[in-house]
Amino acid sequence: MEAKKPSGGSLFIKSEDWMAVWIGALIIVLAIVIFKNDIMDLKKELVPTYNWATDGQVASRVSEWNSWIDGASKEA
């Protein structure tokens, strides 16, 4: 006996490849809905917390870094 192969519409539901397509489409649609309706705004939630250092700030810390490096090299 031959195994019965799915045909027609059931192929689009039961095939592993098509399931991946439907899940991917669902994720894309959800992302669009979330960002279009301002449910989640990454611009407000992902604010960088770093600041650029000026030359004067770096120069004022060099002596601290040198003393730390000297201490670390002596321990090694």
pLDDT in tens, 55-68: 888 888 888 888 88
Query: 1 pLDDT exceeds 60?
Result: no
pLDDT at 2: 60
Return mean pLDDT, the chain: 80
What pLDDT is stored for residue 26 in this prediction? 96
Write down the pTM of the prediction.
0.42
42: which DSSP letter?
Answer: H
**Share of residues in the chain with pLDDT > 90 (%):** 12
Dist. CA 59–CA 43, nearest whole Å: 33
Please give the radius of gyration of the chain, using alpha carbons only, rounded to the nearest integer. 29
